[in-house]
């Protein structure tokens, strides 16, 4: 018996858990994309049942025994081999899962459901007081969750680890401090230039009929890697991507007939997630190693296709004739430089999900800081809306008119998702690191993009990142792909190199 044969019982157990998780992901997709609305109550029960069964299996003592036996049977297999990685990563997952009592998980799930309901109402009424006690309760539960991991350096580490395995709060704080120090004055300098970028080509009442948007998006995505034999594109209120195995990738977008950028760049973004999901080595199918290694790495891929490719100058040159054909009234008289400038307009805005590349990270840093303070009990929750508003003033120079456009804008806290926000900004930072690496190895990428050839970038990403799935932790993966640890410099340099010229800033900015 070789080590692979000896691992068969473990592989079978993990394959079943993976199948159940994929079924659960399919029910989530269905819920958000095709389910008739009256099905919601029963769907919640089904999802809860699947969650319970998955959790039972993922924490079963028998699985722990299989994992220990498998570790003994590796016989010095290369740590980078599929077998050794399967045992290592699954053991990490198992050890985390068994730390948290089932009751606490149930309490968190219930609190998340109630919190979400309260949040919807609070937003509608623009009344923070409706949501505040739910947030207080959620934080109390999160503290109990953190107590399950007594060996963390920082309480926030325990939350962050669920989304960015192995990442430390101190590391994120260091990176974010550097970002903030650069971005706050940079955004101020840009906005001081006034409204010098004309983005009117992207707006116009009813100017972008849905069918034309969709046809254009499908044409563009098919050049990037979307293939109807293994992908779907649908509409969802809250766009997302999901990989039901590497051969069934489902992305979503939403159309606004008066504004093109939302659906177009949203689809590029989700396509980036989809390529990561599609790119796992086929040998990892039906194992917990398939998929992306962290939310930050995942976001690096979506951001890369959305921004570094999709909002780049070569892409603008390639896509402009297609835009002109689809929407002649809006793009007929535009040149590629004009398009490039339009899709890179910077604006101090209230809403994170609508913000541009230059300001986005500041929205995230604000949340990261508040989450740590809340978890540590350093914030009087009564005052949270005002603290939020102050920081928006300090970081972005903008006044928040009400809580719906302020502290209540994101769904995350309502469902008890705390520790997730940093991954959005980390995605930007990591994307720029990978971008620098691939461009030094493949110097003709711009030229390829200008001809609509995206295969070289996609294949490079698959080879260096995607195919490894969850085999390596984020920190390891970043070093492998970018050749060095998490580093904010390439991102700052990218932003300055891009927005400096667009906004006519002095080169030393």
Q: Which of 6, 9, 15, 259 binds a second copy (CB under 8 A)?
A: 15
Q: Which of 3, 6, 9, 26 binds a second copy (CB under 8 A)?
A: 26
Taking contact as CB under 8 A, which single stretch among the options 20-28, 163-171, 465-473, 497-505 is the one that binds a second copy? 20-28
Question: Between residues 18 and 294, which has the closer beta carbon with respect to a second copy?
Answer: 18
Binders in 204-243 for a second copy, by CB under 8 A: 228-232
Question: Between residues 44 and 181, which has the closer beta carbon with respect to a second copy?
Answer: 44
Question: Between residues 242 and 293, which has the closer beta carbon with respect to a second copy?
Answer: 242
- Rounded CA separation 281/466 (Å): 8
Q: Find, among 403, 489, 419, the residue nearest to 172 by Cα.
A: 419
The answer to whether 9 contacts a second copy (rule: CB under 8 A) is no
Number of residues that bind a second copy (CB under 8 A): 36
Question: Between residues 191 and 280, which has the closer beta carbon with respect to a second copy?
Answer: 280
Q: Which of 2, 4, 8, 49 binds a second copy (CB under 8 A)?
A: 49
Binding mask 166-205 for a second copy (x = CB under 8 A): ----------------------------------------
Q: Which of 117, 248, 453, 476 binds a second copy (CB under 8 A)?
A: 248
Q: How far is the CB of 467 from a second copy (least distance, A)?
A: 17
Across 304-330, b (16+ Cβ under 10 Å) vs e yields bbbbbbbbbbbbbbbbbeebbebbeeb
- Rounded CA separation 85/79 (Å): 6
Residue 62's contacts (CB-CB under 8 Å, 6 or more residues apart) are: 13
Whether the CB-CB separation of 412 and 418 falls below 8 Å is answered with yes
Taking contact as CB under 8 A, which single stretch among the options 45-53, 205-213, 326-334, 496-504 is the one that binds a second copy? 45-53
Binders in 266-285 for a second copy, by CB under 8 A: 285
What separation, in Å, do the N-terminal and C-terminal C-alpha atoms of the chain show?
Answer: 63
Q: If DSSP codes are grouped into helix, strand and coil, which group holds residue 233?
A: strand
The answer to whether 244 contacts a second copy (rule: CB under 8 A) is yes
* 242 membership: H or E segment, kind and range: strand 241-243
Q: Which of 247, 321, 382, 501 binds a second copy (CB under 8 A)?
A: 247
Residue 410's contacts (CB-CB under 8 Å, 6 or more residues apart) are: 352, 367, 421
Hey, what are 410's tokens? 């994101």
Q: How far is the CB of 252 from a second copy (least distance, A)?
A: 12
The total of other beta-carbon atoms located within 10 Å of residue 177's CB is: 12
Question: Between residues 225 and 474, which has the closer beta carbon with respect to a second copy?
Answer: 225
Q: Find, among 290, 303, 279, the residue nearest to 423 by Cα.
A: 303
Taking contact as CB under 8 A, which single stretch among the options 15-23, 59-67, 89-97, 447-455 is the one that binds a second copy? 15-23
Whether the CB-CB separation of 276 and 466 falls below 8 Å is answered with yes
The number of C-alpha atoms within 13 Å of 61 and in the hemisphere containing its C-beta is 0
Give the angle subtended at the CA of 234 by the CAs of 344 and 350, to the nearest 5°. Answer: 35
- Rounded CA separation 371/381 (Å): 11
How are strands ordered across the β-sheet holding 241-243?
Answer: 231-235, 249-253, 241-243
Q: Find, among 21, 7, 97, the residue nearest to 58 by Cα.
A: 97
Taking contact as CB under 8 A, which single stretch among the options 23-31, 255-263, 483-491, 496-504 is the one that binds a second copy? 23-31
Q: Is 140 a catalytic residue?
A: no
The answer to whether 143 contacts a second copy (rule: CB under 8 A) is no
Question: Between residues 40 and 136, which has the closer beta carbon with respect to a second copy?
Answer: 40
**Which of the residues 182, 270, 277, 299 is marked catalytic?**
270
Whether the CB-CB separation of 427 and 142 falls below 8 Å is answered with no
Taking contact as CB under 8 A, which single stretch among the options 40-48, 68-76, 77-85, 415-423 is the one that binds a second copy? 40-48
| Catalytic site positions | 270
Residues that bind a second copy (CB under 8 A): 15-16, 19-20, 22-23, 26-27, 30, 34-39, 41-43, 45-46, 49-50, 52-53, 228-232, 244-245, 247-249, 285-286
């Amino acid at each position: 018996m070789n080590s692979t044969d000896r691992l068969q019982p473990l592989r079978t157990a993990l394959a079943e858990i993976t199948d159940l998780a994929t079924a659960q992901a399919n029910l989530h997709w269905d819920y958000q994309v095709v389910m008739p609305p009256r099905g919601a109550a029963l769907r919640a029960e089904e999802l809860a049942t699947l969650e319970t069964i998955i959790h039972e299996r993922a924490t079963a003592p028998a699985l722990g025994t299989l994992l220990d036996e498998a570790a003994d049977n590796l016989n010095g297999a290369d740590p980078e081999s599929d077998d050794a990685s399967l045992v290592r990563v699954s053991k990490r997952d198992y050890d985390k899962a068994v730390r948290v009592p089932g009751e606490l998980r149930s309490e968190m799930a219930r609190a998340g459901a109630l919190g979400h309901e309260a949040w919807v109402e609070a937003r509608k009424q623009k009344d923070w007081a409706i949501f505040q006690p739910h947030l207080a309760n959620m934080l109390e539960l999160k503290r109990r969750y953190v107590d399950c991991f007594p060996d963390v350096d920082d309480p926030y580490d325990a939350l962050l680890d669920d989304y960015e395995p192995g990442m430390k709060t101190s590391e994120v704080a260091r990176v974010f401090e550097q970002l903030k120090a650069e971005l706050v004055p940079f955004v101020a300098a840009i906005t001081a230039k006034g409204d010098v970028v004309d983005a009117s080509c992207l707006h116009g009442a009813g100017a972008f009929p849905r069918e034309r948007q969709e046809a254009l998006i499908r044409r563009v995505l098919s050049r990037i890697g979307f293939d109807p034999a293994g992908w779907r594109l649908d509409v969802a209120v809250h766009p997302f991507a999901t990989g039901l195995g590497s051969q069934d990738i489902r992305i979503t977008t939403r159309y606004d007939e008066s504004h093109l950028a939302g659906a177009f760049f949203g689809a590029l973004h989700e396509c980036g997630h989809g390529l990561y999901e599609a790119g796992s080595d086929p040998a990892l199918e039906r194992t917990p190693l398939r998929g992306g290694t962290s939310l930050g790495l995942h976001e690096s891929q979506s951001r890369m296709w959305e921004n570094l490719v999709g909002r780049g100058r070569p892409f603008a040159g390639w896509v402009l004739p297609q835009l002109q054909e689809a929407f002649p009234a809006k793009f007929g008289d535009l040149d590629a430089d004009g398009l490039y400038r339009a899709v890179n307009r910077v604006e101090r805005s209230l809403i994170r999900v609508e913000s541009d590349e230059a300001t986005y990270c500041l929205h995230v840093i604000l949340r990261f800081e508040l989450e740590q303070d809340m978890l540590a009990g350093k914030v009087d929750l009564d005052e949270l809306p005002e603290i939020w508003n102050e920081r928006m003033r300090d970081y972005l120079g903008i006044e928040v008119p009400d809580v719906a456009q302020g502290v209540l804008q994101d769904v995350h806290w309502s469902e008890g998702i705390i520790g997730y926000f940093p991954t959005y900004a980390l995605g930007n930072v990591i994307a720029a690191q990978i971008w620098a690496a691939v461009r030094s190895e493949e110097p003709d990428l711009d030229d390829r993009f200008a001809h609509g050839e995206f295969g070289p970038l996609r294949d490079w990403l698959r080879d260096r990142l995607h195919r490894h799935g969850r085999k390596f932790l984020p920190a390891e993966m970043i070093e492998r792909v970018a050749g060095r640890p998490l580093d904010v410099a390439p991102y700052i340099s990218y932003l300055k190199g891009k927005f400096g010229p667009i906004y006519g800033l002095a080169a030393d900015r």
